[in-house]
Structure 1
């Protein structure tokens, strides 16, 4: 195992570094300490050709102007909070409204837009950040660590650990856009996705859960036996049309750490298996991917990547039937998601 540290720029007089973890198989994961952004993951195809399977930029300035959250850690709360407000113990809190009147992905300057501390650890990198009380409107001083590690089984693990000195909200995810074709040669419409999920959340016009948990049976949301992404893009189902023709929906997972999420590109032979202890995954097919800069010399466009955001349910604070995303004082937040890369010939 090899870990390389290089300069990647500077922001507000704080140095930004890139860290590249290389295992004995030649698989590489590169991340920077600005937003804990994963900039590159190099994995082989069925012919042994190493190529990048996530969307990413080459220079810091492109990330500073990015509006797509490429590769970033999202928090304090991933997804939307209706009305940009919530109550805890009878007290109302107002958080940044950066998606019309709603709160999205931690606010105007969420975890994705700050410089984290970073240190090299065994087989990876540990990023840490102190989110002060009142940041983006959230209560409590929050200490969080995000650990990226890689092993020789081509498993990339993200571990989250956090604690707060006051009751607050927390559900964190990673917003990498995967494209298993390699170097973004093609879009992800012919990627096949398999999910161990019987239910998904219905969304309203603001893309916020209505509270209704819908069955996937006999809908384009049934990925239990595997389905290509294009199915949802061409679908006339109102929920597919609502999000811009595709998917941007939370799926409730039937099991955890049980090969519950599998993505495959038959042409390259690459596979990605995601396992997590989170209750859900938000599947986002890049329906609103906007052009900022080229990625790997390819123009950013709709369906160029797919996000598999393992997390708690969006807007859970307003739905008592959803698993809680409240973190109490003295309680330890701990979560792990594993990404295993493979080949199916």
Structure 2
């Protein structure tokens, strides 16, 4: 096994004032210890697979360069109790052999579904693997979630991170162009997990990258029906029976998709015939502006997660197809035991002219940032 550790220290200065005498006391220094651990745990296709732990002194994020994977997020509740809040496997090594529904993975080249597993670009028809009925899902048989990325750690006074790179060659999984992607996954001192993607291509192609973490802010003791959700979304994209967008962009008013004020998830699922697996419209087109997408609160534990992104939508998935799955720590994950907030372009956009374009041209740069900020409320 290989082991590496990086230790950094950030100092926060706090000034205390004696108001009556208007005298300034000496600054009080509080040290925050930032630490990265990197351990090689396996080899896959001749490349080393690492397990990383990012620790900012308040919470920890575990990840791997296999699949650009978030494997655990350990965060305090309102009483200071530390618990994992993501659905996962016991070890990174298990991800190499045990099928799982994209727990924590980077999904690409194109996340979500492409109808009939095909698209046309400049008159050329591209045929992809049918991995979800007659449709293509999350990049194919061996998408980005099954690749070993080249990786290196980095840190400064406020951030710990792992930088990963992967070259998807022309024709991989049926997609055109040599696509070079850099992925940064980092934890900051203010308890923000930031995920950044940058990609370039040498041939016109399509691209839609995301992270597929399943969250359960209650510490994965039961389902997520008691979680409270608020989306800053006025519209959503309806889907057919195969979960392919119909092309309509529908107002959420008067529907179970109206989360513009906080709603208890169980109530909304009951009103929506069993769950959500839909794109919530955050913007009508992709722009560099970061926007507050979603706020999730677990009232019992006090944990809160705020999500921000510069993308156009977020796939809201409530683990409708999860059943009797043997997860980490001897727990059995069942339906609605987790939720995904997959920042993305709108699904099947290449087949809908009224959707934001997923096309990436040579000379352009794809840039996508996601932030999950964690806090507690009593």
The number of residue pairs the alignment matches comes to 336
Give the counterpart of 2:333 among 285, 300, 303. Answer: 300
Question: C-alpha distance in 1, partners of 2:125/2:41?
Answer: 40
Query: Superposed, which structure 2 residues align to 1:1-345 within 5 Å?
Result: 1-23=34-56, 25-63=57-95, 64-122=97-155, 123-182=160-219, 184-235=220-271, 240-241=272-273, 245-253=274-282, 257-345=290-378
> Structure with the greater relative contact order (CA < 8 A, sep ≥ 6): 1 or 2?
1
Q: In structure 2, the residue corresponding to 1:259 is in which secondary structure?
A: strand
- Identify if the C-alpha distance between structure 1 residues 187 and 40 changes in structure 2 by more than 3 Å, giving closer, same or farther: same
Q: State the TM-score, normalized to the length of structure 2.
A: 0.86
Q: CA offsets, 1:259-301, max 9 Å, x none?
A: 3210110000000000000110010000001444222321021
Greater C-alpha radius of gyration: 2
Contact persistence 1:232–1:247 (CA under 8 A): no
Structure 2, unpaired ranges of 5+: 1-33
CA drift at 1:226 = 1.1
Q: CA offsets, 1:80-108, max 9 Å, x none?
A: 00111111111111111111221100001
Question: C-alpha distance in 1, partners of 2:283/2:263?
Answer: 18
CA drift at 1:254 = 5.2
Question: C-alpha distance in 2, partners of 1:250/1:284?
Answer: 9
Contact persistence 1:56–1:296 (CA under 8 A): no
Q: CA offsets, 1:190-231, max 9 Å, x none?
A: 101100001111100110000011111111110000111112
Question: C-alpha distance in 2, partners of 1:280/1:103?
Answer: 19
Contact persistence 1:198–1:254 (CA under 8 A): no
Q: CA offsets, 1:110-142, max 9 Å, x none?
A: 000111111112220011111011110000000
Question: C-alpha distance in 1, partners of 2:312/2:134?
Answer: 27
Contact persistence 1:157–1:337 (CA under 8 A): yes
CA drift at 1:62 = 3.0
Q: In structure 2, the residue corresponding to 1:317 is in which secondary structure?
A: helix
Contact persistence 1:65–1:292 (CA under 8 A): no
CA drift at 1:2 = 0.9
Q: State the TM-score, normalized to the length of structure 1.
A: 0.94
Structure 1, unpaired ranges of 5+: none
